[in-house]
A and B are shown apart, each in its own frame.
Chain A
Amino acid sequence: MAQWIEACGAGDVDEEDVIRFDHGGRVYAIYRSPEDRYFATDGLCTHEQISLADGLVMDDIIECPKHNGRFNYQTGEAKGAPVCVNLRTYPVKVEDGAVFIEV
């Protein structure tokens, strides 16, 4: 059953950046877009399970730090080789200065 989990403080994620959040044996990535909106995806690259939190956020793209695979972090869509499988995305809300994701 889906539940909302507090992932981090809203100020923990820099603008146009990403951080890692571990919960229940899974790894998530929390993003803050240049427009100051928050997003969440699975935190490991679908290519070779590298943590995306070490990657680079460019506009709506997260680039994996190992093989430069790219995803649209707002939709989870894989944007070309070497990644082929989309990331799962999660609903996000910000309340009282904290970021919650529905997992």
Chain B
Amino acid sequence: MAQTAKRDYNLLGPSSEAAIASGLAAAEWYHTEVDRKQMKALMQRSDGPAIRDTVIWLGSMLVLAAGGIYFWGSWWAVPFFLGYGVLYGSASDSRWHECGHGTAFKTRWMNNVVYQIACFMIMRNPVTWRWSHARHHTDTVIVGRDPEIAVMRPPDLFRVILNFFGILDAGCAMLDMVRNAAGVVTPEEKSFIPEMEHAKVIRVARIWLAIYLATLALSLWMGSILPLMLIGLPRLYGAWHHVLTGLLQHGGLADNVTDHRLNSRSVLMNPVSRFIYWNMNYHVEHHMFPMIPYHALPQLHELIKHDLPTPNKSIIDGYREMVPAFLRQLRNEDYFLKRELPATAKPYREELHSGVAAE
């Protein structure tokens, strides 16, 4: 049956009510069967890989920032800030994500410290986004339920392009921060953040606002945007990589389904992008088994790939598939890319997807 009703992404709107009424919300999701011992081995936590990667990440930022400051005023500063920006405005996206799951490090306080730092860089309130991401995993790309749908239908491609430079994202994040700092938590936020956490949302927003105001004051005092180039602005000029990779996660694929093989995309990527992205290119695998640490996702991929769609061969390959789908969705928002499963894969649970139009 074709889906004809216009999508309403409001978390408090009729699509949300319909998803709850139909059982789509908080439904049971498809999982590939994996032997418990193998799964347990993959789930094991380790501090080593994340400490190594965090030292490289923050150490590189320090070196690049020092270079940028040293060469400030000359064109030689540009490559330093380009590198610094990506590590600040893009690598922070995967760091808040992994540490939010609590899987990056074995030691909990290490997860929490990196989570707070990365959330600040990517301008995502650590309390709000912990809860919104829990909802994203419960109701992945369920219209009216998932607060983290990057590209809605029909797609707003102008907004998508602007966000490669963080222009709308960061602007909205700053407004949210000021609003939260003023003590206001919206009804939409309240729909997924428990009341006992609201005070934390407000406290974090006030601390961040103080940091940004101090940075702004320092810039004004120095008569230079250099402090802002180091704190705040990298969220704009370094955002492109996290948008580049993040759009591939679910872009152009099915919505309102309960099988991550249908609504998520795995993409084989170059090692640099995989470092920045912390292996979230294995996105079907991550959604199916969020317990698996980022460093074990390649092993998980090898273990279950017989049951998953063939991953895209590269970022470019993913965009060759996704962009035409976005363009078709401009004319027909019900269009989506239907993933092909290997012959050995278990079939979709079609009875759960009867309300979705396929092509």
Which of A's residues lie within 8 Å of B, judged by CB? 17, 47-49, 54-56, 58, 63, 65-68, 70, 81-82, 84
Contact = CB atoms under 8 A, between A and B. Distances in A.
A56 B103 CA distance: 11
B315 interface: no
Interface residues of B, number: 22
25 contacts: A47-B134, A48-B26, A49-B26, A54-B39, A55-B291, A56-B44, A56-B45, A56-B291, A58-B106, A63-B102, A65-B291, A66-B138, A66-B290, A67-B137, A67-B290, A68-B102, A68-B103, A70-B102, A81-B127, A81-B130, A81-B131, A81-B134, A81-B197, A82-B130, A82-B134
Given A67-B290, A82-B131, A84-B194, 6 more contacts: A17-B40, A65-B289, A66-B137, A66-B138, A67-B138, A82-B134
Interface of B: 26, 39-40, 43-45, 101-103, 106, 127, 130-131, 134, 137-138, 194, 196-197, 289-291
Contacts of A58: 45, 106
Contacts of B39: 54
A51 B339 CA distance: 28
A67 B134 contact: yes
A63 B26 CA distance: 19
A77 to B, nearest CB: 14
Contacts of B101: 68
Contacts of A48: 26, 138
A65 B102 contact: no
Nearest to A84: B194
Contact of A65 (B44, B106, B194, B290): B290
Contacts of A68: 101-103, 290-291
A56 B134 contact: no
B300 to A, nearest CB: 13
A84 B196 contact: yes
A56 to B, nearest CB: 4
Contacts of B43: 56
A81 B40 CA distance: 22
Nearest to B194: A84
A82 B103 CA distance: 14
Nearest to A58: B45
Most B CB within 10 A of own CB, among A58, A65, A82: A82
Contacts of A63: 102, 291
A11 B45 CA distance: 25
A59 B337 CA distance: 43
B40 A56 contact: yes
Contacts of A56: 40, 43-45, 291
A31 to B, nearest CB: 13
Contacts of A47: 134
Contacts of B40: 17, 56
A86 B222 CA distance: 52
B46 to A, nearest CB: 11
Contacts of B127: 81
Nearest to A67: B134
